[in-house]
Amino acid sequence: MGPSTNGIPMTAISSQFVSWDGGCVFLSGRSPGVTPMHAHYAIQLAFGVEPGIRFRPGDAEPWTAYRGVVIPSRQPHTMDATGVSASAVLFVEPETREGRALAERFAGGGIAPLPDDVLDALAPSVFSAWRDARSAGAVEDAARRLVHALAGGAAPSVVSDERILRAVAYIKAHLDRPLALEEVAAEACLSPSRFRHLFVEETGVGLRPYVLWRRFLRVWELLTRGSSLSAAAHAAGFADAAHLSRTSRTMFGFPPSAMQMVGPLDAHAPAAASATQPLRSTA
What integer best gives the mean pLDDT of the chain?
A: 83
For the four alpha carbons of 257, 32, 87 and 264, in that order, the dihedral sign comes to: positive
Percent of the chain exceeding pLDDT 70 equals 83
pLDDT tens for each residue of 238-272 = 999 999 999 988 777 777 876 656 655 553 343 33
Confidence of residue 224 (pLDDT cuts 50, 70, 90): confident
* Triad 89, 150, 35: Cα angle to 5°: 20
- Between 21-25, 65-69, 87-91, the lowest mean confidence (pLDDT) is in 21-25
Confidence of residue 273 (pLDDT cuts 50, 70, 90): very low
- Whole-angstrom Cα distance, residue 258 to residue 49? 23
Q: How large is the average pLDDT for residues 219-241?
A: 92
Contact predicate 232/175, CB 8 Å:
no
- How confident is the model at residue 262, as a pLDDT? 60
Beta strands per DSSP E along the chain: 4-5, 8-9, 13-20, 23-29, 43-48, 53-56, 64-66, 68-71, 78-80, 86-92, 112-113, 259-261
Secondary-structure class of domain 11-159+254-276 per CATH: mainly beta
- How confident is the model at residue 204, as a pLDDT? 72
* Residue 214 reports pLDDT greater than 70: yes
- How confident is the model at residue 119, as a pLDDT? 96
Task: Tell me the Cα Rg of the chain.
Answer: 18
Beta bridge partners of 5: 8
Residues 6+ apart with CB under 8 A from 136: 18, 264, 265
- How confident is the model at residue 64, as a pLDDT? 97
- How confident is the model at residue 4, as a pLDDT? 42
- Whole-angstrom Cα distance, residue 102 to residue 141? 18
pLDDT tens for each residue of 49-58 = 999 999 999 9
Contact predicate 2/269, CB 8 Å:
no
* Residue 13 reports pLDDT greater than 70: no
